[in-house]
Structure 1
Amino acid sequence: MSDNTAPSSVELLGGFRITIDGRTVTNWRAGRSQALVQYLLLHRGRPVSRDTLRSALWPHLPPSAGTTSVKAAVHGARRALCPTGEGHTPVRIASVDGGYLLQTDQLWIDVASFERRITAANAALAAGDRALAAGHLRRAVEVYRGDLLPAQDAEWAVAEREWCRTRALHALRLLSDLALEAEDWWTAIRWNRRALEVDPYDPVPSAALADCHRKLGITAAALRWDELAQDRLAQV
């Protein structure tokens, strides 16, 4: 069951999509207007200066050309988010002193939901409530459909992508540990297979899968996972 019950939403994990009142935004016409919105979404809740946007989105342009490009991208983004230019929209780019602020009302954002669930899980673990923690972790990895902005190769996106991937792998590791403590081998297998989808070269899930299959008496599969774990270690 998804956390998303809002008519307007943003998906950054596993791909990029904005839906406003049931309408998917597709008319990204002006240069890097889409990338500008993506950057502002990742820095939501705080103003971003024009110089910061210029450096992030147009690092190779001289300052004068970069500033013009920022203004053009903002104009294009506003038209994409609100084609008529009238009425209220849940996603707005407000001009502030020297920059821009992304304003959102009743907008579900998958990354924000993912982060809230991870934070809640850590708090539950600290309080000793492992069942509550497991529930939050399950919802977090459900929201994590894949890499953040996989088509975006800019440095600012790559850094955020790696951070989200690290947190997803940590959540899956915790879920696996909880299942192993309960000797629920099939559930542990589920979480470790999912961890390999997130990072196919991580040797830890492969080793855990070998152990789980061994506990279940499925020796041939355990040996295959052992071999895969050794191959992954050799590639690290």
Structure 2
Amino acid sequence: MTGLRMGPHDGGGTMGSSAGSLHRGARVQLLGRWRLSFIDSDLAVPAGSTQKLIALLALRGSLSRAQIWGTLWPEASTAHASGRLRTAMWRLADSRLLLLDDDHGRMNLAPRVQVDVWDLYNAVAELAHGDADSSSAPAHPEISLFGADLLPDWDDEWLVTDRERIRQMRLHSLESLSAQLVRERHFGAAVEAALAAVSVDPLRESAHRAVICAHLAEGNTAEALRQFHICRTLYAQQLNAVPSRSLYSLVSEFLVPRPDT
């Protein structure tokens, strides 16, 4: 994919040329699991405060020390939180120059560090641009980019909002991508994108709708009915409810007997 690199870094702060050559290729993974790599090798970063500091900066961008303390250690005193931040930075050892930009009382990731969440933001922006401007080349991001939750093994309260925002972004993008692929008659990829949305949230009706629409567009009535029955069964078992009338309307002409109106 091409396009402007999006991320929370504000572009401030510079490092010397030797440090600049060091942090070329450093990459943070937050989707699915934590991982930090440099060129082709993983970098060992102590679990706990150090990993959380890097993740916070990757998600929120430039922060003051007070903002970092208040987010990561809201119950700690200023002195205790300050000490924990110093310890987290000390544990980075030589990797600190590789990863952090610490300038004028604010901290951020170093300018050339890459983050998979920023790749997701880019993909979402390009997909939206492709929908809005039919004259532009269609954006077809990798479906796998939308498949993973934000740090699913972490239970930190400060992540709840970021995790839900990214989850909703993934779902809407997968559904939008599926619809775009249907318009372009790439039906197999459209079904794959829609099923990925169902995998993220099996109770999301609009995701099931996207699968059904993709199957119907290709003329696969049986597959569309199968997905409808999957949705209806899930709703009955887990919600004690039924899908909406609008979902029924997609397949109503094929149902025998037809549902009550």
Give 1:18's match in structure 2, choosing from 24, 28, 36: 36
Structure 2: gaps (5+ residues): 4-23, 242-261
1:5-44, aligned counterparts within 5 Å? 7-28=25-46, 31-44=48-61
1:102 is aligned to 109
Max Rg structure: 2
Give 1:92's match in structure 2, choosing from 89, 100, 104: 100
Which AA in structure 1 matches 2:78?
Answer: P
Please tell me whether the aligned partners of residues 11 and 110 of structure 1 are also in contact (alpha carbons under 8 angstroms).
Answer: yes
CA positional deviation for 1:218:
5.1
CA positional deviation for 1:191:
1.3
Aligned counterparts of 1:193 and 1:68: Cα–Cα separation in 2? 47
Aligned counterparts of 1:39 and 1:56: Cα–Cα separation in 2? 9
Which secondary structure does the structure 2 equivalent of 1:33 belong to? helix
CA positional deviation for 1:212:
4.2
**Distance verdict in 2 for CA 1:79–1:127, change over 3 Å:** same
Please tell me whether the aligned partners of residues 30 and 116 of structure 2 are also in contact (alpha carbons under 8 angstroms).
Answer: yes
2:211 is aligned to 209
Which secondary structure does the structure 2 equivalent of 1:94 belong to? strand
Q: Deviations over 1:74-95 (max 9, x none)?
A: 222x32725xxxxxx5422425
2:149 is aligned to 147
When the two structures are superposed, what TM-score results if normalisation uses the length of structure 2? 0.71
Please tell me whether the aligned partners of residues 8 and 20 of structure 1 are also in contact (alpha carbons under 8 angstroms).
Answer: yes
**Distance verdict in 2 for CA 1:101–1:9, change over 3 Å:** closer
Report how many aligned residue pairs link the two structures.
218
Q: Deviations over 1:146-174 (max 9, x none)?
A: 01121222233221121122111122111
Please tell me whether the aligned partners of residues 203 and 233 of structure 1 are also in contact (alpha carbons under 8 angstroms).
Answer: no
1:194-233, aligned counterparts within 5 Å? 194-213=196-215, 220-233=222-235
2:93 is aligned to 79
**Distance verdict in 2 for CA 1:33–1:222, change over 3 Å:** same
Tell me, yes or no, if structure 1 residue 133 matches structure 2 residue 141: no
Aligned counterparts of 1:185 and 1:124: Cα–Cα separation in 2? 18
CA positional deviation for 1:233:
4.7
Identity of aligned residues (%): 24
Structure 1: gaps (5+ residues): 83-88
Which secondary structure does the structure 1 equivalent of 2:52 belong to? helix
Aligned counterparts of 2:203 and 2:81: Cα–Cα separation in 1? 39
Aligned counterparts of 2:180 and 2:110: Cα–Cα separation in 1? 39
Aligned counterparts of 1:40 and 1:28: Cα–Cα separation in 2? 16
- What is the RMSD of the two structures over their aligned residues, measured on CA atoms? 2.9
1:120 is aligned to 126
